[in-house]
Amino acid sequence: MRLKIAYSPCPNDTFAFHALANGLIDLEGIEPEIILADVEHLNRAACRESYDVCKLSYHAFFMLSQKYSMLTCGSALGRGNGPLFVTNRRELSNIDTQFAKKELKERGVLIPGQMTTAALLLKIAYPWIDLVEEMLFSDIERELLEDRVGYGVLIHEGRFTYQDRGLLLISDLGELWQKMSGLPVPLGGIAVSNKLDINTAEKVGRVLKRSIEFAFKNPRLSQEYVKINAQEIDLDVIKKHIELFVNEETLEISNEGRRAVYTLYKRASEINPQIRYRENIFIL
């Protein structure tokens, strides 16, 4: 059975999918056609139902929950951490000043895509910020360092490198969400098309869980695959990224993790009336 399986080149995804993509585990007859792309590209491709299995930002998934369901394995949840709202100038670090608000109105904030969870968390934390500009996540740091814009939201490896490169933290949007909700922040997960029959969807869940278990038991085997695809090639940064976002919640989302997903889902539906809330979104 050939399935189009799409995920991002970020270390947490390539670490989890390495064994599946390279046939190192029992695939139960699945023949994976692997597609790697930036998460916002995946979010938008999922709108066209381009893939059978797809990594999605949870924000995108909420928009597409009539077309996709979420596996209980493969999720990335942040505990006291998430996308980082940063600036390149100290005088802008206090966004409540008139100077900073003027800068925000005139030049806005770079975000890694309107459908990303980062964009949703920014809207929840700072509802008065209206002007945003989408950009490939890996280009945002460079744009800030070259002073083309004063503010940006960093995801993935950027959270480990921004300080060394001279950027200043305004807030960790995941930490703000956890303070507001008392729950971790659901960043992304692995969704399956509702066009697949339930037996196939459950099979995908079993195989992915097997792949993640293999990665935990054999972390060195995936190093080359992860490094080749990573935006940041420093091995220490890659290791920190995996340790932060691949954990027991990735292997099997907990009851607390599910509550976090549904709580953010409800909040998103309040902000965007086009998001239709659905009670049962998980498979397996």
Same-domain status, 191 and 225:
yes
pLDDT in tens, the chain (284 residues): 999 999 999 999 999 999 999 999 999 999 999 999 999 999 999 999 999 999 999 999 999 999 999 999 999 998 888 999 999 999 989 998 988 888 888 888 999 999 999 999 999 999 999 889 999 888 998 899 888 889 999 987 777 777 777 899 999 999 999 999 999 999 999 999 999 999 999 999 999 999 999 999 999 999 999 999 886 667 787 888 888 889 999 999 999 999 999 999 999 999 998 899 988 999 96
Contacts of 236 (CB under 8 A, 6+ apart): none
Residues 208 and 238 in one domain: yes
DSSP state of 276: P
H-type helices in 3-116, by residue range? Answer: 11-21, 39-47, 58-63, 98-107
Q: What pLDDT, on a 0 to 100 scale, did the predictor assign at position 83?
A: 94
Q: What are phi and psi of 124, to 5 degrees?
A: -65, -45
Domain that holds residue 143: 84-181
Domain end residue (candidates: 181, 202, 222): 181
Does 9 share its domain with 32?
yes
* DSSP, residue by residue, 206-269: HHHHHHHHHHHH-GGGGHHHHHHH-S---HHHHHHHHHHH-SHHHHS--HHHHHHHHHHHHHHH
Cβ atoms of residues 153 and 109 within 8 Å: yes
**Residues 123, 258 within the same domain:** no
Q: Specify whether 36 is located in the same domain as 150.
A: no
pTM of this structure: 0.93
Sequence-distant (6+) residues with CB within 8 A of 270 are none
Please tell me whether residues 188 and 177 are part of one structural domain: no
> Last residue of a domain, which of 181, 199, 216?
181
The reply to whether 59 and 116 lie within a common domain is no
Total domains in the fold of the chain? 2
Q: Report the CATH number that the domain containing residue 262 is assigned in CATH.
A: 3.40.190.10
On whether both 188 and 48 belong to a single domain, the answer is yes
Among 181, 209, 234, the domain boundary falls at 181
Cβ atoms within 10 Å, residue 70: 24
CB 275 within 8 A of CB 193: no
- List active site positions: 156
Neighbours of 165 (CB within 10 A): 13
Looking at the structure, tell me whether residues 226 and 254 fall in a common domain: yes
C-alpha distances out from residue 280 to 77, 184, 237, Å:
19, 20, 36
